Amino acid sequence: MHIFTQEPEEYREYSWNRLPEIVPSIVFKTRVRDEALEGSNPYRWQDVNSYEIFGNKKVLLFSLPGAFTPTCDTMQLPRFEELAEEFYAQGFDDIYCISVNDSFVMNKWAESQNLEHVKVLPDGSAAFTNAMQMDVQKDNLGFGVRSWRYAIVVENGTITHWFLEDGKEHDAEEDPYEYTNPEFILDVI
């Protein structure tokens, strides 16, 4: 497994437990469009498990603090969408953006971004984020529990690459965005 960050190895060992090498088994609560439903909100609940997302595929998953937040909304998500074809050319089957937001918010965000390639994945109760050991408090911004910014390459459920932003801590003053930008990831893989 490859880990990309500038923090020294001894700091990584001290500040985190051993990072997962396999994606956790989680059930995501998603909302999917269903044309059979009438009304202005034709969506239904659909549970999707980790295996459906990561099994027998090569997937890039990137996580960010929140939908509609400045860096996430204006740089990170749009840039992954713009460069999606380059990831597909590298053998990726899917690109997912995950955030500690509910499915209603994530779907509206995807709609506002006119996404065609990147799929959004809601982690409303932070179950996946907690299992990945990437949960941080952002009470200093009024957010509560959120995800630290990271990206992973997953091949059939196994994490082959971790991309972590430096400075992971609760109520971090900084919101770094260097190792999880799509250009950096493309250069590495």
Q: Which string of DSSP letters, residue by residue, matches 134-170?
A: -EEE-GGGT--EEEPPEEEEEETTEEEEEEE-S---T
- Write the CA distances from 141 to 130, 137, 170, integer angstroms: 19, 9, 11
Question: How many CB atoms lie under 10 A from the CB of residue 188?
Answer: 12
How far apart CA 100 and CA 64 sit, in angstroms, is 8
Element (H, E) at 122: strand 118-122
Active site residue 72: yes
CA pair distance 4, 164, nearest whole angstrom: 6
Amino acid identity of 10?
Answer: E
Q: What is the DSSP string of 40-78?
A: S--EEEEEEEHHHHHTTSEEEEEE-S-TT-HHIIIIIHH
Catalytic residue from among 61, 64, 67, 72: 72
List residues with catalytic annotation: 72
